[in-house]
Chains A and B, each alone.
Chain A
Amino acid sequence: MRVGLFLTCLNDTLFPGAGKAVVQVLERLGHEVVFPPAQTCCGQAHFNTGYRRECVPLARKFAKDFAGLDHVVSPSASCVAMVRENYRELVGESPPVYEFSEFLVDVLGVTDVGAAFPHRVTYHPTCHGLRLLDLGDRPTALLRAVRGLRLVDLPDATHCCGFGGTFALKNADTSVAMGTDKARNVLGTGAEVLAAVDNSCLMHIGGLLSRWRSGTRVLHVAEILAAT
């Protein structure tokens, strides 16, 4: 299958590992990955901050960049939710985008992607993956199939981490208070790695874990699935 990669501007800039991992997993499963190089940003931050008008050209550009692809996959639940939930209303069309774990489980029908990752991992279901995309147990089903991986439950897992896009800056104090509770719960699990399907949330929680010199790493689920 020929699959378009929608990397997202955040991964493109600060989290190169997620995109590489998506490519590696899909190619290992025998699929061809296409990366339209003109892609930039879906406009989520603009839309969610109240700059709807500024978002329209980005949505049009997105449709152009990914034209002709039957399947577009992305390692960001919130950007996928942005395209799926809002593009039809913004520009009248919503390209067929899938969040990575959703694509693997629902479209390709696989949960064991042949990965090995002998570490203790806990999983944070990010809000847009949980409530807008209804990812359910897809990401954890994929993680459970990874050889050597020990998945431990995260207390209050469904509580928001406090990132919230521009909320992290506009309401930085509240954002950090929420993130602190989340990061403490992560540390309480004794996990070596916190995994999620959105690097924006991981940038926030991981930013705290790093500042605290905790030694706990954050990884995108795709990066774990790419490990052999």
Chain B
Amino acid sequence: MNVWLGMPPFPEAARQALGDSQLRANLRAATATIRTKRAAVVAERDDWEQLREAGRAIKDRALRDLDTYLLQLEAQVTDAGGTVHWARDADEANRIVAGLVRAAGATEVVKVKSMATQEIGLNEALAAAGITALETDLAELIVQLGHDRPSHILVPAIHRNRAQIRELFRREMPGVDPDLTDDPVALASAARAHLRRAFLAARVAVSGANFAVAETGALVVVESEGNGRMCLTLPEVLISVVGIEKVIPTTADLAVLLQLLPRSATGERMNPYTSFWRGTTPGDGPREFHLVLLDNGRTTALADEIGRDALRCIRCSACLNVCPVYERTGGHAYGSVYPGPIGAILTPQLRGPDPVADSLPYASTLCGACFDACPVKIDIPRALVHLRGKVAHPPGERAAMRAAAWVMSRPPRFAVARLAARLGARLARLPGPWRRWTEARDLPTPGESFRDWWDARERP
């Protein structure tokens, strides 16, 4: 998985982000907007809970028989003139895509926003192979022009406000109107003009997919701007990199997920454009279609009976938008293309242990807002706690936790500890790990202990 080199573990990265008041203002405004919109369109559906339950079951069913559905999908796509490739890991997927682009004789590709290709670091791999990848989603374009990193699954440039985007466009977009205003309509128009030539000239496009329907071989891309349609329709060759967990059994299942996703993601009843295609169609769209099915750690997650719930994720970002931690720290602090609560359970599983990944399951207060918002009912707090049990614990913490359990196992030991803690609470500054508490917070000064009071009243 694409590791953002040089990122510190979450607590330190979060500390740095918390110091950026502009970032916090941008995030607070944007997440508050989207929370309100989502709440309104979810409230319209009196069967929302039934839809969520169906969504959960559909994804569980797909994962339970994943091999069967993948083979069915492969057969359908092949039958419709597509070619299916399999990739065990990021390197293999990148090699396949670069090889296909080279075989098409192209040195530039247009891209639809895709989490899978970010996860495998495809753009960097293509660049190393002498191929330029042009991101066409507005937010991805903002990130790419700013030599920046995405900070949100759905709205990768959520950390930037309109004034910052205008400055970026004026600086980085060739031929842009120097009097460009920060009106979002004007900014969107500038992006339209900037990318128009690329769309009309592109020979190869790379996409991901939101869903792949085993029954029909349909690939589905959900989007808003029309950049997706441009990439899926105009070039001669289309390459879609799709995680194996994106397969769902039937068209009826798709109808459920297409109702859950837009309401949870952008707070709309339906997103502006959804494209469904099956292999190739003579006279309409690309001549060649390649589907790259990607594992890259997904089967490791699938083998974990609790961790596998993360594979139900449909990348709506509702959990990010309601997360009080994400709202304060932003996405970069998570050190991964998957930020927020879902990233905190997905990244450690896809990437395996390292100091950043090991810190992510702790990047949560377990408040549960993410679980309530999740359209496929991923119990993120439960998975976080489960993963906390699997990561490497600092030796000092492990010793302290064992000592605490030892103390709590015998009432007399607890009595001594209680006394010590009550005395300790009188200190203005606590020692050791407790230091972090008293840096900003006082401790209570308890009066007569409950037990003294209880004993005194029982034996007056």
Contact = CB atoms under 8 A, between A and B. Distances in A.
A54 B10 contact: no
B30 to A, nearest CB: 16
Residue from A7, A54, A173 having most chain B Cβ neighbours under 10 A: A173
A104 to B, nearest CB: 20
B405 interface: yes
A51 B325 contact: no
Given A11-B450, A58-B409, A168-B437, A48 B414 contact: no
B362 A13 contact: no
A37 B451 contact: yes
A130 B371 CA distance: 13
Given A40-B414, A164-B365, A210-B442, A172 B437 contact: yes
B368 interface: yes
B227 to A, nearest CB: 35
B388 A49 contact: yes
A41 B450 CA distance: 15
Residue from A43, A158, A171, A175 having most chain B Cβ neighbours under 10 A: A171
A55 B402 CA distance: 10
Contacts of B418: 12-13
A39 to B, nearest CB: 8
B118 interface: no
A62 to B, nearest CB: 10
Contacts of B11: 170-174
Contacts of B436: 168-169, 172
Contacts of A23: 454
A176 interface: yes
Interface of B is mostly: helix
10 contacts: A11-B450, A12-B449, A43-B408, A48-B388, A160-B365, A171-B363, A203-B443, A206-B444, A207-B440, A207-B443
Given A51-B405, A174-B325, A211 B451 contact: no
Interface of A is mostly: helix
Given A50-B387, A164-B365, A167-B365, 15 more contacts: A12-B414, A12-B418, A13-B417, A13-B422, A14-B443, A39-B411, A40-B408, A43-B408, A46-B405, A127-B365, A160-B324, A162-B365, A171-B325, A176-B441, A207-B444
A50 B391 contact: yes
A19 interface: yes
The 5 closest A-B pairs by CB, nearest first: A164-B365, A50-B388, A207-B441, A160-B367, A172-B436
A176 B437 CA distance: 9
Contacts of B372: 131
Residue from B367, B368, B398, B414 having most chain A Cβ neighbours under 10 A: B367
Interface string B303-326: 000000000000000000000110
A38 B409 CA distance: 10
A61 B421 CA distance: 22
A212 B376 CA distance: 42
B401 interface: yes
A132 B14 contact: no
Interface string A31-73: 0000101111101011111111011011001000000000000
